[in-house]
Amino acid sequence: MSAPPAAPLSAKAALARLIAFPTVSAASNLDLLDWVETTLAPLGARFRRFPSPDGTKANLFASIGPDAPGGLVLSGHTDVVPTAGQDWSGDPFVMREDNGRLIGRGATDMKGFLACCIAAAQSVATLPLVKPLHLAFSYDEEVGCTGVWPMAEWLGGSGLSPQLAVIGEPSSLQVIDAHKGGLIGWTTVTGKPGHSSQPDRYVNAVMVAGELIAFINGLRREFAAGGRHEGLDPPYSTIQVNIINGGLHGNIVAESCRFFWEMRVIPGVDAHDVLARIEDFARVTLEPAMKAIDPGCGIAFEVQAHIPPLAPNADRGAETMLMDLVGQTTPLKVPYGTEAGIFQRFGTPAVVCGPGDIAQAHQPDEFIEEAELEHCVALITRLAEERLCSVT
């Protein structure tokens, strides 16, 4: 057990340092991770990084306490959404205070939680730990939870077997034990252009895309009448097309059409199975007629991001204790996705619970209440006392 620094950082001070790193998803987060390692190293923390393919970003996994199975994971993403085009009243990357509110990009989503983790770690390191506290900081959450996968997969196979991973997305410190999963992507239809006076000689990509979108709309109706997960709003899976572009001119058979689709599926539904149904309809029903006119025609699918759903954990021990500490009797369920489903997919029980109001996420003059940061630090410390200092 290592002693904390002589002058430990408060959550407020840590948040100011974190906000100062402009870690929008298009930028590197390595300087932020360097600062986190420097801050936690005096606590005896052990570090492992998971670099992005191009080496410009990384996930950071830090462990405090004994190198033993069990323990808790506190996880959050280091990237923030851009500020361009938003009406900020000051520099988004310089934290400001206003009547108890701490203002800056990422204050709520979700550098506030990261700051709480860092502040609480300094107290937790002084406890008689028999199980470790792990901090798992990820990259590229804001572009579809694409960065955390290798870290979550490694954790699931590492033998560390954490009791629970708490993903600190803003939930007003309420525990969320279920959310929908997501799969998003693009479909490109390639047809054969020609004069619209003789359309049967050619392949109209817009018309083919329309047939495929109609099939997707049929799935939407099927989901609404099908399986349900009560507590979610709506309690069934959804699918829709939100962007479409195609065609060049009013009297030219469209050569190309491209559309964006998204699905949000309830726990128990595999989004890839849904996509397979769409792809099968394209291959079996639509493409043969297209290729009979020109073999170069076809339909291509591109998955942009996949977020697994989060289901209630089988072992509710640590989760129940967390709920007791926040004064909650029933866990919440939400329709959006988080990295929690990815940790759970690889065998780590997970919930969502973090400071701040989700309504503040991505907003100009984003803020979090200083009092809520202090409450979160106390909550983490108490949870560590209850779950990490006992062999049971």
Indicate the SS3 state at residue 62. Answer: strand
Average pLDDT over residues 284-293: 98
Is 141 annotated as catalytic? yes
Per-position b or e across 377-387, b if 16+ CB within 10 A of its CB: bebbbebbeeb
Indicate the SS3 state at residue 53. Answer: coil
Name the pLDDT band for 316 (thresholds 50, 70, 90).
Answer: confident
Summarised one tens digit per residue, pLDDT across range 93-142 is 999 999 999 999 999 999 999 999 999 999 999 999 999 999 999 999 99
Summarised one tens digit per residue, pLDDT across range 55-67 is 999 999 999 999 9
Q: What gap in Å lies between CA 373 and CA 95, rounded to an integer?
A: 14
Q: Tell me the C-alpha to C-alpha distance, in Å, between residue 158 and each of 145, 148, 162, 165.
A: 21, 15, 10, 14
Summarised one tens digit per residue, pLDDT across range 224-267 is 999 999 999 999 999 999 999 999 999 999 999 999 999 999 99
Is 79 annotated as catalytic? yes
* Domains annotated on the chain, with CATH: 11-178+309-387 (3.40.630.10), 181-307 (3.30.70.360)
What token pair was written down for 382?
Answer: 């108490």
What token pair was written down for 222?
Answer: 């099927």
Q: Looking at 79, 319, 369, 372, which residue is catalytic?
A: 79
Is-cis flag, bond preceding 110, omega within 30? Answer: yes
Q: pTM for the full model?
A: 0.91
Nearest to 86 by CA among 21, 24, 33: 24
CA-based torsion, 286, 288, 294, 300: positive or negative: positive
Average pLDDT over residues 203-214: 98
Numbers of helices and strands, H then E, in the chain: 10, 15
Summarised one tens digit per residue, pLDDT across range 172-204 is 999 999 999 999 999 999 999 999 999 999 999
pLDDT of residue 390: 82
Q: Looking at 109, 141, 177, 255, which residue is catalytic?
A: 141
Does pLDDT of 391 surpass 80? Answer: no
